């Protein structure tokens, strides 16, 4: 029997052909922590945002980091009071992308970044409030997650205030943190956007990595449910903090073809063991999405046979 090695397609190839990059729109005022968050979540050295005017991110421009080709970012500044231009630009941009027929061109998720307000501060600018109220009309099924940033700054301030007022007691402080967050952020958000609004709180401090993992899990789950499984798998591949999610993606992709193939031997008939293992190896390497510009990890399998 004559066999062609090209028939032995990897399962990641199929998925990445449909959705080669996870396309994320991040909205938020300058300084809220967007770039730091993206850098940590996707293992990027530096986010270079194209500017439309001085200091204003150009939402249309795609940012793809050389060290992570599985992710594309669109960056939008926040919708400040008295400036309706940004709001309209973002709305039009999302509308255009929604009309594009291919999954690869659509926006797969939106992160709306907000800072945690001070005790007497206002949570939402009027533009953001309007965006949230109209989100179903503007976004359709695209998941939007409200991300409260710099949790560590909020916690530090609360602890300092508590120490000053001699009310420092560990358990009471935990309750105070939760109550304050609920009062300043979660309740006002739900009053405006409804109880079904997705939200989470993050900090980019290394010791707070679990908060970024939570955001990624929330995003992936909702992309899987409301957008497409291919986009969710690309997100699992693109992100670089949640190891558990990588394992989950490896299993999901493995199940798609290779491992079922091994047990039935159907997909691998006529190929050498090395050919078969090479394809599985490629799928696993693709899922882990290492920063590997010279493809060393793809090549070493063939060279070492391991």
List the beta bridge partners of residue 201.
Answer: 148
d(CA 284, CA 253): 9
Query: Under DSSP, is residue 206 helix (H, G, I), strand (E, B) or coil?
Result: helix
**115 interacts with, out of Mg ion, ligand GDP, none, CB within 5 to 8 A per kind:** none
| Interaction between residue 204 and ligand GDP (CB under 6 A) | yes
Q: Is 31 in the site for ligand GDP (CB under 6 A)?
A: yes
Minimum separation from the CB atom of position 75 to ligand GDP (A) = 8
Out of 35, 76, 200, 278, point to the residue binding ligand GDP (CB under 6 A): 35
| Cα distances (angstroms) measured from residue 20 to each of 142, 286, 299 | 18, 11, 21
CA atoms within 13 A on the CB side of 187: 7
Of positions 152, 159, 209, 217, contacts ligand GDP by CB under 6 A = 152
Residue 150 touches ligand GDP, criterion: CB under 6 A:
yes
Nearer to Mg ion by Cβ, of 26 and 287: the residue is 26
Q: Which does 199 bind (CB under 5 to 8 A by kind): ligand GDP, Mg ion, none?
A: none
Provide the CB-side half-sphere exposure for 42 (13 A, CA): 28
Rounded least distance, CB 139 to ligand GDP, Å: 21
Which one of 23, 28, 68, 231 is in contact with ligand GDP (CB under 6 A)?
Answer: 28
CA torsion, points 258, 260, 264, 268, in degrees to nearest 10? -10
User: Which partner in Mg ion, ligand GDP, none is near 43 (CB below 5 to 8 A by kind)?
Assistant: none
Q: Pick the binder of Mg ion from 35, 76, 115, 203 (CB under 5 A).
A: 35
**Backbone phi and psi for residue 25, each to the nearest 5 degrees, phi listed first:** -105, 125
Name the DSSP letter for residue 103: G
CA 288 to chain centre: 15
Binding region for Mg ion (CB under 5 A): 34-35
Provide the binding-site residues for ligand GDP, judged by CB under 6 A. 28, 30-36, 149-150, 152-153, 203-205
């Amino acid at each position: 029997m004559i066999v062609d090695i090209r028939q032995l397609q990897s399962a990641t190839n199929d998925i990445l052909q449909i959705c080669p990059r996870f396309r994320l729109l991040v909205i938020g005022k300058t300084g809220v922590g967007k770039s730091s968050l993206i850098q940590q979540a996707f293992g990027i050295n530096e986010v270079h945002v194209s500017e439309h005017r001085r200091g204003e991110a150009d939402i249309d421009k795609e940012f793809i980091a050389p060290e992570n080709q599985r992710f594309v970012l669109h960056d939008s500044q926040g919708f400040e009071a008295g400036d309706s231009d940004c709001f309209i630009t973002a709305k039009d941009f999302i509308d255009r992308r929604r009309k594009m027929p291919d999954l690869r061109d659509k926006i797969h998720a939106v992160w709306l970044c907000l800072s945690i307000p001070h005790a007497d501060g206002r949570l939402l600018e009027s533009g953001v409030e309007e965006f949230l109220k109209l989100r179903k009309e503007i976004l359709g099924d695209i998941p939007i997650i409200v991300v409260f940033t710099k949790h560590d700054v909020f916690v530090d301030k609360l602890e300092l205030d508590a120490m000053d007022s001699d009310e420092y007691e560990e358990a009471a402080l935990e309750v105070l943190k939760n109550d304050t967050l609920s009062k300043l952020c979660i309740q006002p958000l739900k009053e405006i956007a409804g109880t079904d609004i997705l939200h989470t709180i993050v900090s980019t401090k290394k010791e707070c990595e679990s908060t970024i993992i939570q955001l990624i899990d929330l995003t992936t789950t909702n992309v899987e449910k409301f957008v497409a499984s291919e986009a969710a798998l690309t997100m699992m591949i693109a992100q670089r903090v949640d190891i558990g999610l990588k394992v989950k993606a490896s299993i999901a992709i493995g199940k798609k073809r290779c491992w079922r193939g091994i047990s039935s031997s159907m997909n691998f008939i006529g190929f050498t063991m090395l050919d078969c293992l090479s394809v599985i190896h490629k799928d696993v390497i693709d899922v882990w999405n290492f920063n590997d510009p010279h493809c060393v990890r793809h090549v070493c399998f063939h060279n070492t046979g391991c």
